Amino acid sequence: MRSVGTLTRADLADTVHHKVGLSRADSLTMVESILRLMCESMSKGENVKISGFGTFLLRDKGERIGRNPKTGIEVPITPRRVLTFRASQMLKDRVSGS
C-alpha cells in the first residue's frame, strides 16, 4: 500500500516483505536497522554513499555575516554542520526518464 506522494518507512518495509519474503515485522526491523545505521554514521561525521542512488554529505559551514531581511541589520550566522544529498547519475537518469 503506497502512500500518495511520499515513500514512507512502512512502504519500504512492505516492499521488502513482498519482494524478499520476510515477515512484515522482520521487514520493518530491517528497514529500521538500515536507517538507524545511516543516522549513526552521519552523526559520527561520516558520509553515506549508496551506489546507484546517491551520497549523503556532511558539510561544515563557517561563520559568516548575514542580514535580517526585515530590518537590514547585519548579524553573524554561527558555524554549523549541514546535511546535503547528491543524487547519483543513475538516479538522475531514472528520474528524468532518460
Q: Which structural domain, as residue segments, surrounds residue 40? A: 1-45
AA letter at 2: R
Q: For residues 86-97, give the mean pLDDT.
A: 93
Residue 98 three-state SS: coil
pLDDT at 98 over 70: no
d(CA 59, CA 32): 25
Q: pLDDT tens across 46-83, in order?
A: 999 999 999 999 999 999 999 999 999 999 999 999 99
Check whether residue 28 and residue 68 sit in a common domain.
Answer: no
pTM: 0.77
Read off the CATH number of the domain in which 85 is found. Answer: 4.10.520.10
Check whether residue 38 and residue 53 sit in a common domain.
Answer: no
Check whether residue 23 and residue 56 sit in a common domain.
Answer: no
Q: pLDDT tens across 18-50, in order?
A: 999 999 999 999 999 999 999 999 999 999 999
Check whether residue 63 and residue 78 sit in a common domain.
Answer: yes
Please report which confidence band the pLDDT of residue 97 belongs to, taking 50, 70 and 90 as the band edges: confident
Check whether residue 1 and residue 41 sit in a common domain.
Answer: yes
